């Protein structure tokens, strides 16, 4: 008989790898020094830009003596609202504010409508002299606004619009930069969108108003913000188009405050209180609409 012998082989014990070895084997992420440095630079730049506004806001709540002795202090030693009470109770500030609001709203609505219509015409309609007209538009954008002040005054005076609301509003209803922005945006919308609308029987006006214009909402928001800011802060045009104190806007009124028209003293709290109030509408408008400023045409049809 043959006896079979079975041998059992025991595996060799596995050597445990130390945790430090695993940690050493892992790839370490490089530490980027540029990102924190960039954040620090941006924070410093933001502080530099915000600091004058903080001084403005703080000084508006100071007394005249505190504003003169410590003009850069951010915390008023004595809090007072005397500057704001003076503006609304003893000056023409409410009239200035009302004039600025009226002109700004009218200019913003009109400029948005005319810029979008002109931009669509240059982008989609085919007519003689279109390229020459567009070249002239670009040339106007290159001319400094101050050069056009005297011709603007002569035209306004010749048309009988001097010292009136029409002379303040009508010359600002069109803007070369706004037409340029709208034209470029309309050209980014696929032509297939218009072709589909024309097949459904839409004419040029209905196509522009009901199809293309709603798709240009991001560009329209941009025009609204730029138009509101530009007309609200406009000064040179109102100087050459009006002379009556009853038609003064905030910019002209604050300029008279800065020139010492309210008295022999400088009245820094009053001046900076007026400037602080002027910044509120533009800041609120930008904060509300800033997320709508994009470069995409939503709802476009792929070609």
Q: Is a pLDDT exceeding 50 seen at residue 5?
A: no
Query: How confident is the model over 116-127, as pLDDT tens digits?
Result: 999 999 998 888
Give the separation between CA 192 and CA 300, rounded to whole angstroms.
Answer: 9
Domain count for the chain: 2
Verify that 102 and 38 share a domain, yes or no. no
Closest CA to 282 of 230, 240, 238: 230
Verify that 74 and 141 share a domain, yes or no. no
Give the separation between CA 57 and CA 99, rounded to whole angstroms.
Answer: 24
pLDDT at 301: 42
Verify that 44 and 137 share a domain, yes or no. no
Which domain CATH number covers 246? Answer: 1.10.3720.10
Q: Which residue has the higher pLDDT, 210 or 18?
A: 210
Give the separation between CA 267 and CA 256, rounded to whole angstroms.
Answer: 12
Listed ranges 13-27, 60-74, 100-114, 261-275; the one with the highest mean pLDDT: 100-114
Cβ pair 219, 181 in contact under 8 A: yes
Verify that 67 and 209 share a domain, yes or no. no
Give the separation between CA 287 and CA 165, rounded to whole angstroms.
Answer: 29
Which two tokens mark 4? Answer: 């079979």
Verify that 188 and 282 share a domain, yes or no. yes
Task: Let me know if residue 302 belongs to a domain.
Answer: no
Which two tokens mark 291? Answer: 């997320």
Give the separation between CA 30 and CA 32, rounded to whole angstroms.
Answer: 6
Rounded mean pLDDT of 23-42?
69
Verify that 145 and 192 share a domain, yes or no. yes
Structural domain range at position 166 = 92-292
Task: Let me know if residue 214 belongs to a domain.
Answer: yes
pLDDT at 34: 66
Verify that 179 and 248 share a domain, yes or no. yes
pLDDT at 167: 94
Task: Indicate the average pLDDT of the chain.
Answer: 83
pLDDT at 295: 44
Verify that 157 and 228 share a domain, yes or no. yes
Verify that 74 and 147 share a domain, yes or no. no
Q: Which one of 80, 114, 144 terminates a domain?
A: 80
Verify that 125 and 227 share a domain, yes or no. yes
pLDDT at 244: 92
pLDDT at 129: 87
Task: Let me know if residue 103 belongs to a domain.
Answer: yes
Q: Which one of 80, 114, 134 terminates a domain?
A: 80
pLDDT at 303: 44
Verify that 234 and 110 share a domain, yes or no. yes
Q: Is a pLDDT exceeding 70 seen at residue 59?
A: yes
Q: Is a pLDDT exceeding 50 seen at residue 4?
A: no
SS3 of the chain: the string is CCCCCCCCCCCCCCCCCCHHHHHHHCCCCCCCCHHHHHHHHHHHHHHHHHHHHHHHHHHCCCCHHHHHHCCCCCCCCCCCCHHHHHHHHHCCHHHHHHHHHHHHHHHHHHHHHHHHHHHHHHHHCCCCCHHHHHHHHHHHHHCCHHHHHHHHHHHHHHCCCCCCHHHHHHHHCCCHHHHHHHHHHHHHCCHHHHHHHHHCCCCHHHHHHHHHHHHCHHHHHHHHHHHHHHHHCCCHHHHHHCCCHHHCCHHHHHHHHHCCCCCCCCCHHHHHHHHHHHHHHHHHHHHHHHHHCCCCCCCCCCC
Rounded mean pLDDT of 81-96?
91
- Confidence bin at 42 (pLDDT 50/70/90): very high
Task: Let me know if residue 163 belongs to a domain.
Answer: yes
pTM greater than 0.85 (yes/no): no
Verify that 45 and 142 share a domain, yes or no. no
């Amino acid at each position: 008989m043959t006896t079979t012998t079975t041998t059992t082989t025991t595996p060799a014990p596995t050597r445990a790898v130390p945790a430090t070895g695993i940690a050493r084997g892992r790839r370490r992420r490089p530490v980027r020094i540029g990102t924190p440095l960039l954040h620090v630079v941006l924070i410093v730049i933001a502080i530099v830009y915000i600091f004058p506004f903080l001084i403005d806001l703080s000084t508006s709540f100071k007394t005249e003596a505190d504003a003169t002795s410590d003009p850069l202090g951010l915390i008023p030693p004595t809090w007072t609202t005397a500057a704001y009470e003076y503006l609304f109770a003893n000056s023409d500030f409410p009239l200035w504010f009302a004039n600025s609001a009226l002109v700004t709203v009218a200019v913003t609505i009109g400029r948005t409508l005319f810029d979008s219509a002109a931009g669509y015409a240059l982008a989609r309609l085919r007519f003689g002299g279109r390229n020459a007209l567009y070249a002239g538009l670009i040339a106007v954008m290159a001319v400094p606004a101050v050069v056009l002040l005297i011709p603007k005054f002569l035209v306004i005076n010749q048309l009988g619009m001097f010292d009136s609301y029409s002379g303040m509003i009508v010359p600002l209803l069109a803007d070369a930069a706004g037409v340029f922005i709208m034209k470029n945006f309309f050209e980014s919308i696929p032509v297939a969108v218009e072709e589909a609308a024309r097949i459904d029987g839409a004419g040029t006006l209905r196509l522009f108003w009901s199809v293309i214009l709603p798709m240009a909402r991001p560009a329209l928001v941009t025009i609204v913000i730029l138009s509101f800011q530009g007309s609200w802060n406009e000064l040179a045009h109102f100087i050459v188009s009006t002379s009556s104190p009853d038609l003064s806007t905030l910019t002209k009124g604050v300029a008279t405050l800065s020139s010492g028209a309210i008295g022999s003293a400088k009245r820094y709290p009053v001046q900076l209180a007026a400037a602080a109030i002027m910044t509120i509408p533009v800041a609120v408008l930008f904060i509300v609409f800033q997320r709508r400023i994009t470069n995409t045409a939503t709802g476009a049809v792929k070609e």
